[in-house]
């Protein structure tokens, strides 16, 4: 099984979290690919993979610039994504933006759910004002997430 991490970022914290996961979680899953969301559209979900949305929040609870086109594509394309299983890592800053904390990731979650995709586990959030190191906390969450959900996904996957 392939874990595909789609990254929405401006100042590269989310990318660093994804790359840390790529290095640390290689023993848990056959393949991990980190891909920036730049230039992507809804067809990225055509690939057979377990998806992880890892994105920051900007503006007033918006997704970063590099994630705008993908979110817009999900909003405009009537694509049924019933085959998609995904998790969400939502980065934000609760101290500075309490009203819109981590809403970038939550926007992706809402849209993917609307299109029939199934989220595995709860949305993970990172608060930049907390002092918690995003990479360390992200790795710990992802290892737990993969360990919890991969067995059922593998059992359900068609055998080659
Ligand atoms: C101009 C600006 C706007 C932001 N807006 C929000 C926001 O609305 N909600 C939130 O939770 N975090 C907000 N943040 C915090 C970022 O999402 C957070 O620092 C994140 O870790 C940055 O990730 P990145 O380095 O991958 O871009 C904002 C940060 C900046 C600089």
* Domains of the chain and any CATH numbers: 2-156 (3.40.50.360)
What contacts 10, CB < 8 A, 6 or more positions away? 56, 58, 64, 65, 66
Query: Closest Cα to atom 12, ligand 1: which residue?
Result: 92
pLDDT at 78: 74
The token duo for 91 is 């980065």
**Predicted local confidence at residue 77, as pLDDT:** 76
97 lines ligand 1 (CB under 6 A): yes
Residue pLDDT, tens place only, 9-68: 999 999 999 999 999 999 999 999 999 999 999 999 999 999 999 999 999 999 999 999
pLDDT, tens digit (0-9, with 9 covering 90-100), for 108-152? 999 999 999 999 999 999 999 999 999 999 999 999 999 999 999
> Does the CA dihedral 42-81-145-108 come out positive or negative?
positive
Whether the CB-CB separation of 15 and 9 falls below 8 Å is answered with yes
The pLDDT value recorded for residue 87 is 98
Q: Looking at the predicted structure, is the pLDDT value of residue 159 above 70? A: no
Q: How far is the CA of 156 from the centre of ligand 1 (A)?
A: 37
Does position 93 have pLDDT exceeding 80, yes or no? Answer: yes
pLDDT in tens, 98-110: 999 999 999 999 9
Q: At what angle do helices 103-114 and 65-76 cross, to 10 degrees?
A: 20
Q: Is 129 in the pocket of ligand 1 (CB under 6 A)?
A: no
Q: Which residue has the tokens 């101290």?
A: 95
- CA distances 113 to 4, 26, 107, 126, Å, are 18, 28, 10, 21
User: Tell me, what's the pLDDT at 21?
Assistant: 98
Q: Is the CB of 93 under 6 A from ligand 1?
A: yes
Measured by CA distance, the residue closest to atom 2 of ligand 1 is 58
Q: Tell me, what's the pLDDT at 29? A: 97
Between CA 93 and CA 95 the distance in angstroms is: 6
Q: Can you give the pTM of this predicted structure?
A: 0.97
What is the C-alpha to C-alpha distance for residues 5 and 40, in angstroms, rounded to an integer? 13
Are 8 and 50 in contact by the 8 Å Cβ rule? The answer is no
């Amino acid at each position: 099984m392939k874990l595909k991490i789609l990254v929405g970022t401006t100042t590269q914290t989310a990318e660093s979290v994804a790359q840390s996961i790529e290095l640390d979680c290689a023993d848990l899953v056959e393949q991990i690919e980190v891909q920036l969301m730049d230039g992507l559209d809804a067809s990225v979900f055509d690939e057979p993979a377990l998806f992880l949305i890892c994105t920051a929040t900007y503006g007033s609870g918006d997704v970063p610039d590099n994630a705008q086109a993908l979110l817009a594509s999900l909003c405009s394309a009537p694509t049924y994504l019933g085959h998609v299983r995904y998790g969400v890592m939502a980065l934000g800053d609760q101290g500075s933006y309490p009203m819109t904390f981590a809403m970038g990731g939550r926007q992706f979650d809402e849209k993917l759910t609307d299109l029939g995709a199934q989220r595995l586990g709860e949305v993970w959030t990172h608060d930049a004002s907390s002092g918690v190191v995003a990479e360390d906390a992200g790795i710990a969450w992802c290892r737990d997430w993969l360990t919890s959900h991969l067995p059922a996904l593998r059992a359900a996957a068609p055998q080659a």
